[in-house]
Structure 1
Amino acid sequence: MANALIGEADAILPAEGEVAERTLHLVMNNSAWFAVEDLLDKSYADVFAEVVLAEVQQRSVKLKTSAALMFGATRRDHDELTLDDCAELVKGHGSIVLPALGKAMRASIKLREPEPGEAKPAGTPATKSGGTGSAS
């Protein structure tokens, strides 16, 4: 049985000096969440809740959290990236990588459907629910 809760998104990093443009394919699946849980010693649900709370409060999550999420999301296609590399990506290219990371995260988690009369989270399709637009 295929895992329908896999989130994928691309972040296109601009060319810098002699380094060509690069596309990072971010994948949030069970393996990615396992890596995040190990790094942060928290459940994926607690990490996701931390990110959502930060967004609601219009503040950034800890760099450690964002870097761990980026690290997890890069394991499948970019395993050459270290945790430090991921922290630098978040710090140096946050406006590019964090929206893609948020998209991948949201798609990887199925939250409960709203009760009748309960508001659906903004920006979510009828068959998905909740999440954050970025991991910053």
Structure 2
Amino acid sequence: MQLGNNIQTLRKKKGLSQEKLAEKINVTRQTISNWELGETAPNPEQLILLSKQFDISIDELVGNDAMPSGSSRENKSTKDIYIGLIVLCGIVACVWAFSANRFRYVEILGITIAGAVIGACLGRVIHGILMYLRNDKK
């Protein structure tokens, strides 16, 4: 029954009627209704089309994982923010320490790591701001 609830929730979240979703995955409106009521279930090909339509994994769709707060694309972009800031701050710190020409290599390594930690902290702050803005829109 969780699959049916997930389909209905995701469909409504995307602002699609049963008829519009049915058109997009080449089934009838009644088929969508039956899935949402748990009377029938989509076949593997239809699960693939649904997961692409909703931009989530099949595991998330069928309920093998807890429903995520965002799509997998959003989760990837969050990781990209963290990694980008960690690398950027680490490189800036390393270049600064190296160009200052007054630090030993061990100290430069420490400054680089400190820069990466600052980047991780900035990533967390930005992530918090983005979550706040997302929740504020709802």
Q: Work out which of the two has the higher radius of gyration on C-alpha atoms and give 1 or 2.
A: 2
Q: Indicate whether the TM-score tops 0.5.
A: no
Shorter-chain TM range is under 0.3
Q: What's the TM-score once normalised by structure 1's chain length?
A: 0.26
Q: Which has the higher contact order (CA 8 A, sep 6+)?
A: 1
Which structure shows the higher helix fraction? Answer: 2
Q: What's the TM-score once normalised by structure 2's chain length?
A: 0.25
Which structure shows the higher strand fraction? Answer: 1
